[in-house]
Amino acid sequence: MGRVAIVTGGSRGIGAAISKALKEAGHTVAATYAGNDEKAAAFTDETGIKTYKWDVASFDACKDGIAKVEEELGGPVEILVNNAGITRDAPFHKMSSEHWNSVIGTNLTGLFNMTRNVWEGMRERGFGRIVNISSVNGQKGQFAQANYSAAKAGDIGFTKALAQEGARKGITVNAICPGYINTEMMSTIPEKVMNETILPQIPVGRLGEPEEIARCVLFLTSDEAAFITGSTVSANGGQYLH
């Protein structure tokens, strides 16, 4: 059954793969982004998926953006994938409040801003699928990522709390924790660091592909996944087992 889906940060990287997979599954998808107009336009040209620009860190921008999506795509948002995320890495003794606030704003408060603005409608209609893209670094912590690890761990707590609230209303809320995924972010890592530091940490012996995360999202957003809520799916090639 085709539903209206929003994927935040859905214009590139992991989000782009998620947007495409949801479209292929028959859903009408809106992919949001923050500022990279060129990438967003290229993505729409390639896929036919509409893109919308707003900052998930702003509650009002999310409210207005969601209303616009619902008007233009012709229905209420029934699937929400909170994928938009940023890094501002620094060892803690050099971490500024700007580093902290920007990462918490996008990666944690962004989930509140988006989800709060679809939640009441999902409750009223008795159906909703919410997937939050957290990270292995929210599970295990990571040097120079106190901000990112805190936000991503927060995403998991948010998921578990909301799953309990949505359960009787047909709304499932789940988290996915990707490990190292082959996106643009990874292509900037020097080959030596990749081969000697990163790959040896991953028992599967390679990076994950964005499509492998998209497949997890497809499963969790399907009607048939109604009994799975509050879960955290680790997709990390065996890098971190808990």
Q: Would you count residue 128 as binding ligand NDP (CB under 6 A)? A: no
Instruction: Count other Cβ atoms within 10 Å, centred on residue 2.
Output: 13
CB distance 99 to 145 below 8 Å = no
Minimum Å distance from CB 112 to ligand NDP? 13
| CA atoms within a 13 Å half-sphere pointing along the CA-CB vector of 113 | 23
Binding characters for ligand NDP, 73-102, by CB under 6 A (x = yes): ----------xxxx----------------
The dihedral region occupied by 9, where left means phi > 0, alpha psi between -120 and 50, and beta the remainder, is left
Catalytic entry in 33, 52, 148, 180: 148
Choice from 28, 139, 183, 234 touching ligand NDP (CB under 6 A): 183
The string over 84-111, giving b where at least 16 C-beta atoms fall within 10 Å of a residue's C-beta and e elsewhere, is bbbbbeeeeeebeeebbebbbbbbbbbb
The amino acid present at 60, given as its one-letter code, is: D
Q: Which is nearer to ligand NDP, 127 or 145 (CB)?
A: 145
Choice from 14, 153, 162, 233 touching ligand NDP (CB under 6 A): 14
Q: Would you count residue 12 as binding ligand NDP (CB under 6 A)? A: yes
Question: Is 148 an annotated catalytic residue?
Answer: yes
The amino acid present at 98, given as its one-letter code, is: E
- Residues in the interface with ligand NDP (CB under 6 A) total 29
Residues in contact with ligand NDP by the rule CB under 6 A: 8-9, 11-15, 32-36, 39, 55-57, 83-86, 106, 133, 135, 178, 180-181, 183-185
